[in-house]
Amino acid sequence: MNSSGADEYSPSTATKKEEMGTTLFGKYKLDKILGYGAFAKVYHARDIKTGQSVAIKVINKTKSLKTGFIPNAVIKREISIMRRLNHPHIVRLFEVLATTTKIYFVMEYAQGGELFSKLTKGRFSEDLSRRYFQQLITAVRFYHSRGVYHRDLKPENLLLDENWNLKVTDFGLSAVKEEIKSDGLLHTLCGTPAYVAPEILSKKGYDGAKADVWSCGVILFVLNAGYLPFNDRNLMNMYRKIYNGEFKCPRWMSSEMKRFLSRVLDPNPVSRITVDEIMNDPWFKIGYNEVKSISEEEFDIHGEDDIPYLNAFNLISFSSGVDISGLLNQPETVSSERFVSAEATEVILARIVEVAEVEKLIVTKKEWGVKLKGENSNFVVALEVHILTKELVVVEVKRRQSIDECCSQKIWKDKIRPELLKLVYLSEGSKKIIC
């Protein structure tokens, strides 16, 4: 776990005991911790029904959003990106779940662990290095074709499955083609220093695809050499070496591989080899077996029909999440609150309209819900209803009201609010909102 979970460190025994064995949404049972960071943890877990192993990335939404280290848009974008990608060499996202405080990425479990941990035991042979590089490039070529640029490729973000095949993970720093500026380039500075492309350092904009190719070249060098091509205790010296493309290959590296690396680690992005050119290079093609990915038409993360469900991807776009604390405790100052209900949309709207008509409020039916208005517009309430699952909906209540108007306060506090509270769905045996 890296960009979205901070650097890993060993969790305390108390934390392990507290989390392990927890059942999420009646679907997954958490097991051991695979990675642990400041804002997220990754667990091994099992699907209770099937027994299938999965990895679950748990993001503490409240903590991460308050600190600002993981903006809401970053989490939302990572989910959007992973939904686009279904490839044998990319970790697959199965589903996303959420509570009021946490977001859960349920992902494919890579039993072999990080590729980086295997490197600590010694460098790889040229054949093995090439095999992993081939798998990496096929994944990179695929997500580039989907308009995605990883921007943080490194051995720590490459996992191995039970058959020792490579899986790219952690798209937390990724960009999509929609972020490309009018000059045709990306401009956000990001990445891990030793793997970052020289054009990113120049701060003049960069081609996301070319930057990923550079990082792949650094990875290939590390796999066979056992050390970084650009390294220096002084960060500025290291950046100078990267910018000038200054590196030396070890004596055991073949002349063909040296030639290939010189094309991949070309500091000039214009003349640097492209992914398509890599695929046709003689050194790369040795022993290469093409893999086929599942088409977008065959890939559906939810496995449902086309009903417009509001899933966790949509929920986290709300800054405060699914939270009814204000609705329960501070009705006078609430401007926007949300809750989950098991009632049908028609039932929810009918109950609120009934109250509104008794109180002689003006009711305007909208495509998304209803709007209630008092005399002189001194009291306005809008209810939006979004489908969450086949059984649940999310109701968003937006209210504008003058605090000085006692009559308006009474309508809200004594009439409308009690009806809303009757509609709130609570989990069995607790007051925790299911979302």
200's enclosing H/E stretch is helix 198-201
Topology agreement, domain 113-285 and domain 322-423: no
Provide the percentage of residues in the chain whose pLDDT is more than 70.
Answer: 74
Return the pLDDT at 291.
76
Written as one letter, the residue type at 66 is K
Q: When comparing pLDDT for 247 and 395, which is higher?
A: 247
192-201, 294-303, 406-415, range with the lowest pLDDT: 294-303
Token pair 């943080």 is found at 152
Render pLDDT for 101-127 as a digit per residue (tens, 0 to 9): 788 899 999 999 889 888 888 999 999
The CATH fold assigned to 322-423 is TATA-Binding Protein (3.30.310)
Contact assessment for residue 354 and residue 423, using Cβ atoms and an 8 Å cutoff: no
Return the pLDDT at 387.
73
Render pLDDT for 338-350 as a digit per residue (tens, 0 to 9): 777 888 888 888 8
What does the DSSP 8-state code read for residue 248? Answer: -
What average pLDDT does the chain have?
A: 79
Q: Is 152 a catalytic residue?
A: yes
Return the pLDDT at 62.
63
Render pLDDT for 80-95 as a digit per residue (tens, 0 to 9): 888 888 899 999 998 8
Question: For 302-330, what is the mean pLDDT?
Answer: 41
CATH 3.40.50.620: does it fit domain 13-110?
Answer: no
Tell me whether residue 267 is exposed, middle or buried, using C-beta atoms within 10 angstroms of its C-beta: 0 to 12, 13 to 18, 19 or more: middle
Contacts of 51 (CB under 8 A, 6+ apart): none
Distances (CA, A) of 373 to 165, 219, 367: 61, 62, 17
The CATH fold assigned to 113-285 is Transferase(Phosphotransferase); domain 1 (1.10.510)
Contact assessment for residue 197 and residue 210, using Cβ atoms and an 8 Å cutoff: yes
Residue 323 pLDDT > 60: no
Catalytic residue of the set 7, 31, 152, 161: 152
Structure tokens at 162: 């039970």
**pLDDT tier at 313, thresholds 50, 70, 90:** very low
Token pair 């990724």 is found at 174
Closest CA to 413 of 363, 344, 359, 343: 359
Backbone angles phi, psi at 430, to 5 degrees: -155, 175
Residue 152 pLDDT > 70: yes
The rounded distance, in Å, linking the Cα atoms of 428 and 435 is 13
Where are the domains positioned within the chain?
A: 13-110, 113-285, 322-423
* Sheet-wide strand order for 393-401: 336-341, 393-401, 379-387, 369-373, 362-365
27: left (phi over 0), alpha (psi -120 to 50) or beta: alpha
